[in-house]
Structure formats: structure tokens, C-alpha cells
Amino acid sequence: MDELTGTLVFLFLLVGIILNLLVIATVLKKKNRKVKDVLIISLACAMISEICFGFVWEGYGRYIDDTSLELCKMAGFGSAFSAFVSILHLIAMALERYISIVHPLKAYQHFENHMLAMYMVVPAWVIGLAWALFPFFGWGVYLREEVHTYRCSAIGFIKPSNSQSYSYGLLIFFFFLPSIIIIYLCVRVQMELIKTRKNTAEKFQGATMMVADSKKCEKQHFVLVCFIIITYFLTWTPYALSACWYTFFDSKPDHVVSYSAIFAKSGLVTNPIIYVFFYREFRETLITKVFKRKAPSPSNPSTSVEMKTRSTTNN
């Protein structure tokens, strides 16, 4: 089993580096960057920081020397810090999409200035850093896992109340609350797209192409929402279940905690795929600017829907 987990982690590492570097290179090639582009770059940087400050030191402890507790804690800090920052970025990206679709006029006025994203990016990094540093100052603790002793986890299953309260804080502020916010924003966007399609069908009864584009965009967003919710819960639910199990049953689910890290590391691959490659504008930039090929020219349903949403709002 350890060989299988080692292989999976190596694959996540390799594919994660390639995808996230590709994301950064592609977005930097864009001429007119928007708020979403800055969030995408920052999220990719968070993923790469997890590789540099979490994966590398964890790999050193696993294959070379696992005697240093300080090194184990630093690897745990690197993974936790990047994970916290990534979760906050996912909330910011869900909020950006919500404002762009549900309040398009506000998005048109403000989101063209990509520096506005700093109001979301900077707090995400600062808050993530603060929560990752708390265990070094007495609130919480980085402990060696019982099964994989070369790895340290921020989810501490020990009796002191400060460690338990830290674990509960992580459970609330980095799992349940983000889950509620992301699901709410995604559902609101989906409802707005359904409303836009109905308004389009009523206003342009003879324009079957516009109605079809609106319906196609609605369907694409529904698929995107499903992927977002499924992968988010797949990535972070094992850790949450571990904390809940210890809370209600007062026992340490050692194997669940150890193998939860594999699911958490899958975010290195799923995040760039879901939050970037689903966007048509990014795919076009990747093809034309990075791979130097001619981009396909299909209709852009998402853009047309946003324009229709703006006109509906004006009316």
C-alpha cells in the first residue's frame, strides 16, 4: 500500500508542477488581465508553494531521513499553509464568478482593473500564513502521524484543549464555512443562468441560436459546479471526517488521517483543471500564445450570456 501511495504522490507532484506552471505561463501571456486572471495565477502559486515547502521536505523525510522532528513540522507547515491559501482562493474565485454573472454591471465597472484582485489575494495569503503559524505559538500542534511517521499533520488528536480548539477552528473555517459559501454562490449563479435563458427565450422567440447558446452555457456551468463541489469534498472531506470522528468518538482514526493526505494532494491536479481549463478564454490563450497554434472559433456562449444578463439588468 505504501508503494501505491508513493506512486500516487509522485504522479500528483509531476502533473501538478506541469499544470500549474502551464497555468502561470498562459495567464502571463494574456494582454488584458482581469481579476479572475490574478486569482488564477495566485492559486497556481499556492499550489507550487505546496510542492516546494511541503512535498520536497516530506519526500526527504520519507526516503532519506525522518529523524528530524523540526523538518517534519516544517513540511507540515508548508502543506498546511498552501492548503489554507488555496481554500481561500477557491472562495474568492466562486465570489468573482458570482458577481460577474449575477451582478454583471458591477463586474464590468470594477473587474476590468485586475489590481482589484489584490483585495482578495493578499488577505488569503495573510490569513493562510497566520493559521499555519499558530501551532508554533502554542495554539495547535504539528504531530507525526501514527502510520506515516515521516509526515506531520496540523490535525492534532491530543487532549490539551488548545490543540482541540485549533482542530475545531480548522474544521469550521476551512471546511464547513467554505463549503457553504462555495455551494451557495455556485447555486446562485446556476439560478441566474436559468433565469437568463428564460428571459432570452421570451425576448428573442425567433432567435433559436441565442436560446441554444444560453442553454449550452447553463449546461456547461452546471457541469462545472458539479465538478467543483465533488472535487472539493473529495479533497478535504477525509480530513474533516477524521476531526469529526475524534470529536464524537474520542478515538484516533490513524489510517484515515494518513491517507487523507493523498486526497488533499489531489488538489494540485484538480484545481488547475477545473478552475482554469474550463474557461474558453484560457484555452484559446494556451493554444495561440503558448503552443503557437490556431485557435478554433466556436461561438462563445458564456460571453453572450453575460451580455444578455447585462441587458436584462438594464431593462
Beta strands in 24-126, from DSSP E residues, in sequence order: none
Rounded-to-integer distance, Cα 244 and Cα 203, Å: 51
pLDDT above 90: percentage of residues in the chain: 16
Give the model confidence (pLDDT) of 245-275 as tens digits.
Answer: 766 666 666 666 667 777 777 888 888 887 6
Average pLDDT over residues 153-178: 79
- DSSP annotation string for 129-177: HHHHHGGGGTSS--EE-SSSTT-EES---SS-HHHHHHHHHHHIIIIIH
Give the model confidence (pLDDT) of 220-239 as tens digits.
Answer: 777 777 787 888 888 888 87
Give the CA distances from residue 284 to residues 29, 132, 214, 288, in Å, rounded to whole numbers and listed in that order: 11, 37, 20, 6
Q: What is the residue extent of each domain of the chain?
A: 6-290
CATH fold of the domain at 6-290: Rhopdopsin 7-helix transmembrane proteins (1.20.1070)
- Do 245 and 256 touch, CB atoms closer than 8 A? yes
* C-alpha neighbours within 13 Å on the C-beta side of residue 5: 15
Exposed / middle / buried, residue 232 (Cβ in 10 Å: 0-12, 13-18, 19+): buried
pTM score of the predicted model: 0.84
Give the CA distances from residue 203 to residues 47, 84, 209, 312, in Å, rounded to whole numbers and listed in that order: 44, 45, 13, 10
In this prediction, residue 85 carries a pLDDT of 95
In this prediction, residue 206 carries a pLDDT of 58
Average pLDDT over residues 133-137: 93
Q: 304 or 15, which is more confident?
A: 15
- For residue 31, give the DSSP letter: S
Rounded to the nearest integer, the mean pLDDT of the chain is: 79
Highest mean pLDDT among 63-72, 80-89, 154-163 belongs to 80-89
Give the model confidence (pLDDT) of 195-214 as tens digits.
Answer: 887 887 777 665 667 667 76
- Do 172 and 247 touch, CB atoms closer than 8 A? no
Q: Is 111 helix (H, G, I), strand (E, B) or coil?
A: coil
174 pLDDT exceeds 80? yes
Highest mean pLDDT among 2-16, 160-174, 289-303 belongs to 160-174
Rounded-to-integer distance, Cα 152 and Cα 213, Å: 49
Q: 92 or 229, which is more confident?
A: 92
